[in-house]
Structure 1
Amino acid sequence: MPLAREVSFATGERIFNEGGSANRFWIIRTGTVVLDLHVPGRRAAVIATLGPGELLGWSWLIPPRHWHLGAEAGSPVRAYEFDAAAVLEMCGKDPVLKHALYVYVAGVIADRLRATRTRLLDLYVPYGAGPVP
C-alpha cells in the first residue's frame, strides 16, 4: 500500500484500451468497471463487470505488457492505483511478496478466463444447442 495512489474515474470514462501499454493496475474501492473485448465490425463485447475489492489489470505482469481487454467505468469509480514498474522493483527485492503476488494474479487470471468463456458461450452459442463439451 505504500505505493498506492488514490484515483477516480467518471461513469463512461475509458481507463485503458485493448492493446495499449499496461504500466499500472488498480484495486477498486467503490463503483464498477466494465471489461470489454474489441469485436471487428461489432460493438465491443462486455466480458465482465468488476466491483469493490477486485483487481483491475493484470497485463502489466506478463511481457509484452499490453492490455488484453479494454476497461471503462460503469459507474463512478474510486480506486487505488499502482505503478507496475515500482511494484515489480519491490518484488525483485522481496521473493515472498513476488510469490504471493504471482499466485494471487494467477488466480485472478484463471477466474477471468472461466468468466470470459461462460460469457462468450452466452453470446455466441444458440439457446438450446445442447450441452457444451
Structure 2
Amino acid sequence: MHDKATPQMLRELQVGNDLPETDQIELASIANVVSFNADERVFREGDKHSFIYWLLDGSISLEMSSGVPAAKALLTLGHGDILAWSAFLAGGRMTATARVAEPTRLVRLDIQELRNLCQANHEIGFRVMEHLASQLAQRLLATRLQLLDLFHSPNGSNE
C-alpha cells in the first residue's frame, strides 16, 4: 500500500503549478508516494517500465552498463528531478539503471493513467509536457557541460 500524493507535493516539485486547483487535485489523484531504501533498484537498464517519478527527497544514481560488466554512474538525481521519463515518452524501455543512493521518497504516476489524463484534459497534458521538456533541457545542458569538462585539457588547449 502506498500513500496518496497531494497537490501540495506536486506544487513543491513544480509539477502543474500553473494549473487551476481542480486540475492539480485531478493530477494528484493518480499519484502515489513510494519509498525506497539505500541500494534498492527502482528499475534496471533495458527493462520495460510503466511508471514515471519525481523525487520528493533522497537521491538516486543513474547507471549504464555500456557493454561492460560493471555499470558506471552517470548522474545523481535529487529533489524535484524526474525519473523514468523514457517510460512516458519513449515506449517504456529504460535506458539506465536507477539505484537508490540514500533512503528516498518518490511521487509515482502510472504511465497509462497519466496518458489518459493528458488526453482527456489537454491543459494538464500541456503543463506536464512543458515540465518534462524543461527537465530534459536541464539534463541535456548538464550533459553538455560534462562533455566540455571531459574534453578540456588542463593546459587550456583542446588537444
* TM-score, normalised by the number of residues in structure 1: 0.84
Q: CA deviation at 1:2?
A: 0.9
Q: CA deviation at 1:131?
A: 5.5
Q: Is 1:75 matched up with 2:75?
A: no
What residue number does 2:21 align with? none
Asked whether the equivalents of residues 11 and 75 of structure 1 are also in contact (C-alpha less than 8 Å), the reply is: yes
C-alpha change, 1:41 and 1:8, in structure 2 (3 Å) is: same
Asked whether the equivalents of residues 47 and 120 of structure 1 are also in contact (C-alpha less than 8 Å), the reply is: no
Unaligned runs of 5+ in 1: none
Matched residues in 2 for 1:44 and 1:86: separation? 32
Greater Cα offset, 58-67 or 110-119? 110-119
* TM-score, normalised by the number of residues in structure 2: 0.72
Matched residues in 2 for 1:10 and 1:121: separation? 34
Asked whether the equivalents of residues 51 and 88 of structure 2 are also in contact (C-alpha less than 8 Å), the reply is: no
Q: CA deviation at 1:74?
A: 0.5
Q: Output aligned runs, 1:1-133, within 5 Å.
A: 1-41=28-68, 43-120=70-147, 122=149, 125=151, 127-128=153-154, 130=156
Greater Cα offset, 73-82 or 113-122? 113-122
C-alpha change, 1:116 and 1:46, in structure 2 (3 Å) is: farther
Number of residue equivalences: 131
Q: Pairwise CA RMSD of aligned residues?
A: 2.1
Matched residues in 2 for 1:32 and 1:91: separation? 28
Q: Secondary structure, in 3 states, of the residue corresponding to 2:135?
A: helix
Matched residues in 2 for 1:129 and 1:61: separation? 43
Q: Secondary structure, in 3 states, of the residue corresponding to 2:49?
A: coil
Q: CA deviation at 1:117?
A: 3.5
Q: Secondary structure, in 3 states, of the residue corresponding to 1:18?
A: coil
Q: CA deviation at 1:44?
A: 2.0
Greater Cα offset, 55-64 or 7-16? 55-64
Which protein has the larger Cα radius of gyration, Structure 1 or Structure 2? 2
Q: Which has the higher contact order (CA 8 A, sep 6+)?
A: 1
Q: CA deviation at 1:63?
A: 3.3
Structure 1 stretches of 4+ with a deviation exceeding 6 A read: none
